[in-house]
Amino acid sequence: MILVTGGAGFIGSNFVLGWLAQSDEPVINLDKLTYAGNLGNLQALADDPRHVFVKGDICDEKLVAGLLAQYKPRAILNFAAESHVDRSIHGPRDFVITNVNGTFALLEATRAYWADLADADKAAFRFLHVSTDEVYGTLGAEDAPFTETTAYAPNSPYSASKAASDHLVRAYYHTYGLPTLTTNCSNNYGPYHFPEKLIPLIIANARQGKPLPIYGDGQQVRDWLYVSDHCAAIRRVLEAGRPGETYNVGGWNEMANLDVVRILCGILDELAPKAAGSYVDQIVHVADRPGHDRRYAIDARKIERELGWKPVETFETGIRKTVEWYLEHDAWVRDVQSGDYLRWLDTNYSNRDSQPEPGQ
């Protein structure tokens, strides 16, 4: 089996759902259920014995060690993180605690577990760390996209904490020989994306008649990748990536924020027209984000050359699917915005009788 951390968040839940759709290998899902974790994302697996959910913190080294001893996973995939740049500006502490200390605790528990494995299991074991292109900092309009050898130059507390975690992962390979893999991916979008991030926020605000806030001039460029393509890349790196290596993952799809928002408005005008006018009329420019990176772009040739991965979705196909998903999941958005999803644990477990295991 595999141990996934942060599997109730946006990418983690897409990964777990995708994994169990194409494999019967069980998943232990360790998630702290912060504001970003939503067990409702995994409702389809509620009665599936292949999915074991554990509410807990990756900083809790004893808990992680206990899970490793109990379930003996062949791999750990670390998605757990504080992930929102704006939150990292308002309150960087949680980012250092989870992203840096948490990754460190996970690595320490993993190192102890891995050291005691039999030789064949030791060689086959993998620690896959899911990271971001934001560790490379910002590009000018004419600069070449980020490669795996681009120097780290993070500019936000979020990207700095992810950079620190990447360095720890690297060090555990070089120092202890732990078979690590790191993926540095560009901006994802798709189902279950928390509506504080640009694309789901714009869809939700548009539908609710609220302003569509563009930071600064809206000419900041991101390289968008549909989330299921990212999940496929992670599966491929886990399967065939070379230990100690890092792989950049991206969609070859650079786009300015204002263009993304205009495309969203166009699709919404078509699929869910307003009584009068266009959603574009709701666009407003607001004060820019401090330290706002101007451009990210990923050179994803290494993962294509070495592992044969490339994205399946284009931005046109992926963004349409995304808007359609949000239109069909109004209730999911409403639950997230009202905080109702946080009560999911109570809803799910409070009315169930619990009985000890027979024979115990």
Point out the residues that are catalytic: 133-134, 158
Q: Among ligand NAD, ligand TYD, none, what binds residue 5 when CB lies within 5 to 8 Å by partner kind? A: ligand NAD
CB of 82 to ligand NAD, least distance (A): 6
Comparing CB distances to ligand NAD, the nearer of 263 and 336 is: 336
Structure tokens at 183: 């993926």
Judged by beta carbon, residue 51 or residue 197, the one nearer ligand TYD is: 197
Report the site for ligand TYD in 9-68 (rule: CB under 6 A). none
Give the position of tokens 């910002």. Answer: 138
Q: Compare residues 99 and 220 and give the one whose CB is closer to ligand TYD.
A: 220
For residues 28 and 55, what is the distance between their CA atoms, to the nearest angstrom? Answer: 11
Chain-centroid distance of CA 267 in Å reads 25
- 268 contact partners, CB below 8 Å, separation of at least 6: 203, 206, 207, 279, 323
Q: For the chain, count helices (H), then strands (E).
A: 14, 13
Decide: is 36 part of the binding site for ligand NAD (CB under 6 A).
Answer: yes
Identify residues 99-138 at the interface with ligand NAD (CB under 6 A). Answer: 102, 130-132
Cα 229 versus chain centre, distance: 12
CA distance 175 to 170: 9
The structure tokens listed for 71 are 């379930």
Q: Using the rule CB under 6 A, is 197 a contact of ligand TYD?
A: yes
Residues binding ligand TYD: number (CB under 6 A): 12
Q: Which of 31, 166, 229, 313 binds ligand NAD (CB under 6 A)?
A: 31
Minimum distance between the CB of residue 163 and ligand NAD, rounded to whole angstroms? 11
Rounded CA separation 328/324 (Å): 6
- 40-79 footprint of ligand NAD as x/- string (CB under 6 A): -----------------xxx-------------------x
257 near ligand NAD, judged by CB under 6 A: no
Task: Decide: helix, strand or coil at residue 173.
Answer: helix
Smallest distance from ligand NAD to CB 358, Å: 32
C-alpha torsion 161→165→170→174, nearest 10: 120
Does the footprint of ligand TYD cover residue 85 (CB under 6 A)?
yes
Give ∠ CA 175-176-177 in degrees, rounded to 5.
Answer: 105
Residue 156 near ligand NAD by CB under 6 A: no
Q: Which residues bind ligand TYD (CB under 6 A)?
A: 85, 187, 197-198, 201, 213-215, 220, 222, 257, 289
